[in-house]
């Protein structure tokens, strides 16, 4: 008996040593943990033998608790995937569940660990599911721990699933609960879930917090139908009705996210529980979803509507009612949101596979073909997949399938071509598509019974098919056989539209790689015809295809020579009319020699002046179109890297000299053009840039040493300066001429002048030109091609911006812009503002104490800020606020530009750099800022409210701009705030001199109440020296005006006295104690 006792003691000691060892090894063995988990599970009956109240077992208890955060014990799925760890198998979960039943204290600690882990399981779905299974096993197998899990742990999970602020935490809690929900058949589970959820759920679905409603809705959908298993059906039916009532209410919830979940959730419920839901409830919910939710203002709700209906179609019992309802969704194929349109076609694809449905009764074929022709490729591919069984079925003989596809092309050529574009990717056989190409080409060459649009559709469809098949080498031989016997030339004669010609030209490298010149004559005809007519915009697609084919055939010199001949001829003609120096190169007649690139040519003093006539000669539209067509093509050639190098190397000089003359004429005569085509100016600027870059690449000189761009820019700025200086004095009569000293010249063409009294085109032309030049300046300055002309560039930007402000002020008096013109000029204004602000930034960034920024930077910053009130008076607050959004990102640069003469430079020179405003006008933005301050401060009486309202009109955009300035200045350096305050007080002094006493009071309010309100007097005197000196000086000047009677009326005197009080409130007492 003693021996037996000894054997029992040794066995207990062995268990106490073996279990900790195996647990420790399982936790640290990585992918080899599974055998250890099996051994531990075999020893599971030994766990209750240990005394968990003994202090010596504390280390083992910690070891057990580590199992709850170990992936080897949590991972449910076996596998040897090459991940960071190869996780364990089912035994780990069983063991954890067993651990929960070993000790009450250990169970509580384990559940607390799981509860804590749930809050950190962001994105770790598998681990959360594993926790749910562990807890469910513990609840099921360990009877005494059920109360702890049910009343404590699971109740906490329900609360977290509903009230968690983090949606990921709520989702993790629901997954824990789902382990119980999917086991409803187990005795006691359904009652447990009902008892824990019912008191919380229905109340939470109706609270004010949208996040709680959203979480509660998700939980309701997981638990549906929530019923008490211990009561009869009669008692549960009202509960079911209550759930549908709340779901119906959530369909019209204020939160779009809740509506989206409710729609899809109801469809899921109907799919799973169709048999037990009353028919009136089904009809009511589906009608509401189809009629109302499909027209919801939120894209996600409409998308959820379609996704829910797709899911519901899996239940055959829903088909009868959906046959009636789904045709009401036909408009969703044309929905504004791409995702919704794609889902609508997915719905049709689902319907197509159901025998009891016909998709064309849901959405008409005409609507589908329209979407196929014009919609995004994502939608067009789905529609192609939908139509393939009907219009190119694989089960029919090839001839019959081709006839169907040809019929589709004849019905809608654009849609048919798009169908062919995606037919291969959506499952059609490549061999059958080659047969379709042969049939299409044959029909296009014998177009009896076809109109030109249908013939072009066949050509484009064939080109789309050839492009999709070109990657498959096995089909190339068959494709090339289709175009034997000069069929390409014959097809080109039948192609009428720009798209059809472009499609044919794009075919050539695939179907005729050995003879790329087969359509060379046709390509050159396209190039020349487009260059000398006003309709090049109608054939741009074919033009670009012709350019590419001519280049691939190795005969690009022919094209370059034709275009440069046209430009040189027109430039010579213009120079004769306007007395300018003609282009330096003769008209090219033979193939030019390589290596003749653009050289650095000195600027001539008569480039701008020339010999002028006294008679204004205005070019007609055909002459302008010819120049614009050739220049547009040249610009496109320069954009194509493979053609640009060849052109710049051999043709740059003649093109550059021609474009120089043409650009000068365009700039100086832009007021006389009904609509200005900027192509010549853009081509001139692009050619200068690329020529300069090529010179840099071919030599060792730096970008800044290149003078080509600097000379071009100098030429343009002199032309623009001459134009602007002349146009400043021009009245609104746009027929006034800028060049009054031109020579008389007979002109055989009729002269076209902008109609008198219509300055809209003139203003748009000027702003278009200015924006293009600004963009060129910024681009070339950024890549350091412009070096010595930065000051002049800033001066140009300032002059141009001032012109734009002045033009808007003139037009604001008489509103002469229609909707489209107004939109165009505002888009241009916003673009030019961005370019000018970026230029200002580049200039300020390159300034140093020894090379301080020019005064033009200060003027440019003022003029750019003036654009905001100018646009507001010209177009209204709505447009001005959109400009403020662009100003916001550049506001730090503008503020630095205003104070640059104070901020950059030696400290001793700051006081002497105060800008002398002299007799200048107050900047518009300063006046608007001051008037807003007055409007904000005054409380108009009823008897004079209307009168004051007329005097100070509200300026929302200027108010928003002022708020942005104050916020930015408060966060920045005191030195910047000091310089800005000095600027405003300089304007205050100017307003006082001009007797604009309202502006004086408004500026004083802004500086004292907004800028200096939070500054203590002692520290402010040190950090804001310039502002306080200016305040003191203005205080004495205002005081002098009041004492010496320089103010006439009582109202102005009151404003000055108020300004004195405001200034005195922020200055030290002794600073204002002097009187003189």
pLDDT in tens, 160-204: 999 998 888 899 899 989 988 998 888 888 888 898 898 899 999
- Is 647's pLDDT higher than 90? yes
Q: Quote the tokens at residue 808.
A: 């808007």
- The reported pLDDT for the residue numbered 589 is 42
What average pLDDT score do residues 565-591 get? 76
> In angstroms, how far is CA 868 from the centroid of its own chain?
24
Q: For residue range 364-386, what is the model confidence (pLDDT) as tens digits?
A: 999 999 999 999 999 999 999 99
- Is 587's pLDDT higher than 80? no
Alpha carbons 836 and 831: distance in angstroms, whole number: 9
Question: Which parts of 603-707 fold into alpha helices (H)?
Answer: 621-639, 641-668, 679-698
Residue closest to 424 by CA, chosen among 388, 370, 398: 388
- Is 53's pLDDT higher than 70? no
Alpha carbons 93 and 74: distance in angstroms, whole number: 6
pTM over 0.95: no
* DSSP string for residues in 239-273: HHHHHHHHHHHHTT-S-HHHHHHHHHHHHHHHHHS
Q: For residue range 233-257, what is the model confidence (pLDDT) as tens digits?
A: 888 888 999 999 999 999 999 999 9
Q: For residue range 833-843, what is the model confidence (pLDDT) as tens digits?
A: 999 999 999 98
Per-residue burial over 100-121, b if 16 or more Cβ lie within 10 Å, else e, is bbbbeebbebbbebbbebbeeb
- Is 738's pLDDT higher than 50? no
What residues contact 358, with CB distance under 8 A and at least 6 apart? 351
More confident residue, 627 or 216: 216
More confident residue, 149 or 205: 205
Residue closest to 486 by CA, chosen among 494, 474, 498: 494
Lowest mean pLDDT among 78-92, 278-292, 803-817, 952-966: 78-92
Q: For residue range 681-692, what is the model confidence (pLDDT) as tens digits?
A: 999 999 998 888
Backbone angles phi, psi at 743, to 5 degrees: -75, 155
Which 3 state secondary structure label does DSSP give 35? helix
- Is 475's pLDDT higher than 90? no
- Is 43's pLDDT higher than 70? no
Alpha carbons 697 and 719: distance in angstroms, whole number: 30
More confident residue, 603 or 558: 558
Confidence band (pLDDT; 50, 70, 90) for 1021?
A: low
CA dihedral (340, 346, 350, 352) positive or negative: positive
Q: For residue range 286-308, what is the model confidence (pLDDT) as tens digits?
A: 999 999 999 999 999 999 999 99
What average pLDDT score do residues 705-724 get? 80
The helix or strand, by DSSP H or E, that contains position 32, with its residue range, turns out to be: none
More confident residue, 956 or 696: 956
Q: Quote the tokens at residue 781.
A: 């300055």
- The reported pLDDT for the residue numbered 808 is 83
Residue closest to 526 by CA, chosen among 503, 489, 551, 501: 501
CB half-sphere exposure, 152, CA atoms < 13 A? 15
Residue closest to 269 by CA, chosen among 253, 291, 295, 247: 247
- The reported pLDDT for the residue numbered 419 is 96
Alpha carbons 1004 and 872: distance in angstroms, whole number: 24
- The reported pLDDT for the residue numbered 907 is 47
How does DSSP classify residue 904?
Answer: S
- Is 101's pLDDT higher than 80? no
- The reported pLDDT for the residue numbered 614 is 43
Contact 572, 586 (CB under 8 A): no
Contact 312, 264 (CB under 8 A): no
The helix or strand, by DSSP H or E, that contains position 114, with its residue range, turns out to be: helix 104-118
Torsion of CA 934, 936, 939, 945, to 10 degrees: 70
Alpha carbons 188 and 226: distance in angstroms, whole number: 14
Q: What percent of the chain has pLDDT over 90?
A: 32
Backbone angles phi, psi at 904, to 5 degrees: -110, 115
- The reported pLDDT for the residue numbered 32 is 66
Q: Is 913 exposed, middle or buried (0-12, 13-18, 19+ CB in 10 A)?
A: buried
Q: For residue range 650-700, what is the model confidence (pLDDT) as tens digits?
A: 898 899 999 999 998 888 888 777 777 888 999 999 999 888 887 766 555
What average pLDDT score do residues 741-753 get? 33
Alpha carbons 735 and 750: distance in angstroms, whole number: 15
Which 3 state secondary structure label does DSSP give 610? coil
- Is 108's pLDDT higher than 80? no
Contact 218, 160 (CB under 8 A): no
Residue with tokens 């020179």: 909
Q: For residue range 759-771, what is the model confidence (pLDDT) as tens digits?
A: 677 788 888 889 9
Which 3 state secondary structure label does DSSP give 743? strand
- The reported pLDDT for the residue numbered 574 is 87
């Amino acid at each position: 008996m003693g021996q037996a006792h000894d054997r029992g003691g040794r066995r207990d000691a062995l268990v106490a040593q073996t279990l900790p060892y195996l647990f420790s090894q399982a936790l640290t063995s990585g992918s080899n943990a599974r055998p250890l988990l099996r051994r531990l599970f075999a020893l599971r009956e030994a766990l209750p033998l240990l005394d968990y109240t003994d202090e010596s077992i504390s280390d083992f208890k910690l070891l057990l608790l580590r199992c709850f955060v170990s992936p080897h014990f949590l991972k449910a799925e076996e596998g040897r995937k090459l991940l960071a760890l190869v996780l364990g198998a089912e035994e780990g979960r069983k063991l954890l569940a067993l651990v929960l039943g070993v000790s009450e204290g250990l169970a509580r600690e384990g559940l607390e660990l799981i509860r804590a882990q749930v809050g950190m399981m962001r994105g770790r779905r598998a681990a959360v599911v594993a926790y749910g299974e562990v807890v469910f096993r513990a609840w099921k197998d360990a009877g005494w721990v059920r109360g702890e899990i049910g009343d404590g742990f699971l109740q906490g999970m329900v609360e977290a699933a509903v009230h968690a602020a983090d949606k990921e935490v709520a989702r993790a809690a629901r997954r824990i609960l789902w382990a119980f929900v999917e086991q409803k058949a187990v005795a006691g589970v359904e009652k447990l879930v009902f008892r824990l959820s019912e008191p919380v759920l229905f109340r939470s679905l109706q609270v004010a917090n949208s996040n709680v409603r959203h979480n509660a809705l998700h939980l309701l959908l997981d638990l549906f139908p929530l019923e008490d298993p211990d009561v009869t059906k009669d008692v549960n039916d009202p509960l079911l009705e209550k759930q549908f009532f709340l779901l119906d209410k959530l369909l019209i919830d204020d939160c779009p996210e809740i509506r989206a979940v409710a729609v899809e959730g109801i469809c899921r419920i109907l799919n799973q529980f169709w048999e037990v839901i009353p028919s009136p409830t089904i009809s009511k919910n589906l009608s509401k979803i189809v009629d109302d939710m499909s027209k919801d203002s939120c894209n996600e709700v409409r998308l959820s509507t379609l996704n829910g209906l797709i899911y519901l179609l899996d239940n055959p019992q829903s088909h009868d009612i959906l046959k009636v309802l789904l045709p009401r969704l036909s408009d969703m194929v044309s929905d504004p949101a791409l995702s919704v349109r794609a889902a609508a076609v997915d719905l049709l694809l689902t319907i197509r596979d159901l025998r009891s449905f016909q998709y064309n009764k849901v959405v008409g074929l005409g609507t589908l073909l329209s979407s196929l022709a014009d919609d995004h490729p994502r939608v067009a591919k789905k529609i192609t997949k939908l139509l393939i069984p009907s219009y190119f079925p694989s089960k029919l003989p090839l001839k019959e399938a081709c006839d169907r596809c040809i019929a589709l092309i004849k019905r809608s050529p654009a849609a048919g071509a798009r169908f062919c574009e995606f037919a291969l990717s959506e499952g059609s056989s490549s061999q059958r598509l080659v047969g379709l190409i042969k049939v299409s080409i044959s029909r296009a060459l014998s177009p009896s019974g076809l109109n030109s649009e249908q013939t072009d559709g066949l050509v484009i469809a064939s080109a789309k098919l050839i492009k999709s098949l070109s990657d498959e080498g096995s089909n190339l031989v068959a494709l090339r056989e289709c175009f034997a016997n000069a069929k390409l030339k014959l097809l080109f004669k039948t192609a009428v539209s720009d798209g059809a010609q472009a499609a044919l030209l794009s075919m050539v490298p695939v179907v005729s790689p050995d003879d790329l010149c087969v359509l060379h004559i046709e390509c050159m005809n396209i190039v020349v015809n487009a260059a000398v007519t006003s309709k090049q915009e109608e054939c741009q697609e074919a033009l670009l295809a012709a350019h590419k084919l001519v280049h691939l055939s190795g005969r690009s010199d022919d094209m370059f020579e034709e275009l440069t001949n046209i430009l040189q001829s027109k430039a010579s003609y213009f120079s004769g009319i306007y007395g300018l120096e003609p282009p330096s190169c003769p008209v090219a007649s033979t193939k030019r020699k390589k290596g003749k690139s653009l050289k650095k040519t000195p600027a001539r003093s008569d480039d701008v002046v020339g010999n002028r006539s006294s008679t204004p000669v205005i070019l007609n539209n055909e002459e302008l179109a010819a120049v614009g067509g050739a220049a547009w093509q040249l610009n496109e050639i320069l954009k194509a890297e493979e053609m640009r190098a060849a052109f710049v190397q051999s043709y740059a000089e003649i093109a550059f000299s021609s474009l120089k003359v043409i650009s000068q004429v365009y700039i100086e005569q832009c007021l006389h053009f009904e609509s200005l085509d900027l192509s010549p100016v853009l081509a001139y600027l692009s050619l200068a840039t690329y020529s300069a870059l090529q010179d840099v690449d071919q030599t060792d000189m730096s970008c800044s040493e290149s003078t080509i761009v600097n000379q071009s820019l100098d030429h343009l700025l002199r032309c623009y300066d001459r134009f602007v200086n002349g146009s400043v004095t021009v009245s609104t009569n746009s027929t006034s001429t800028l060049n009054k000293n031109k020579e008389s010249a007979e002109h055989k063409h009729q002269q076209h002048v902008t109609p008198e009294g219509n300055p809209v085109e003139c203003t748009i032309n000027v702003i278009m030109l200015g924006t293009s030049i600004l963009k060129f300046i910024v681009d070339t300055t950024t890549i350091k091609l412009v070096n010595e002309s930065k000051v002049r560039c800033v001066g140009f930007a300032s002059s141009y911006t001032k012109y734009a402000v002045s033009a808007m002020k003139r037009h604001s008096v008489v509103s002469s812009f229609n909707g489209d013109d107004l939109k165009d000029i505002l888009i241009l204004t916003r673009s030019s503002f961005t370019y000018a602000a970026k230029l200002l930034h580049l200039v300020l960034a390159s300034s140093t104490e020894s090379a301080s920024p020019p005064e033009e930077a200060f003027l440019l910053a003022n003029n750019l800020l003036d654009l905001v009130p100018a646009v507001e008076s010209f177009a209204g607050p709505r447009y001005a606020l959109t400009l403020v959004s662009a100003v916001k990102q550049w506001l730090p640069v503008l503020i630095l530009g205003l104070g640059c003469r104070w901020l950059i430079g030696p400290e001793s020179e700051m006081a002497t750099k105060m800008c002398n405003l002299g007799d200048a006008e107050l900047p518009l933005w300063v006046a608007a800022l001051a008037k807003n301050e007055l409007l904000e401060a005054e409380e108009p009486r009823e008897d004079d409210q209307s009168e004051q309202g007329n005097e100070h009109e509200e300026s929302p955009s200027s108010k928003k701009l002022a708020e942005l300035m104050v916020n930015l200045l408060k966060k920045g350096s005191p030195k910047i705030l000091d310089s800005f305050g000095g600027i405003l007080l300089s304007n205050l002094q100017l307003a006082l001199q001009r007797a604009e006493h309202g502006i004086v009071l408004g500026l004083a309010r802004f500086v004292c109440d907004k800028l200096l309100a939070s500054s203590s007097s002692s520290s402010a005197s040190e950090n804001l020296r310039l502002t306080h000196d200016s305040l003191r000086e203005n205080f004495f000047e205002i005081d002098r005006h009041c004492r010496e009677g320089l103010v006439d009326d009582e109202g102005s005197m009151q404003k000055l006295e108020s300004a004195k009080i405001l200034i005195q409130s922020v200055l030290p007492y002794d600073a204002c104690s002097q009187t003189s």
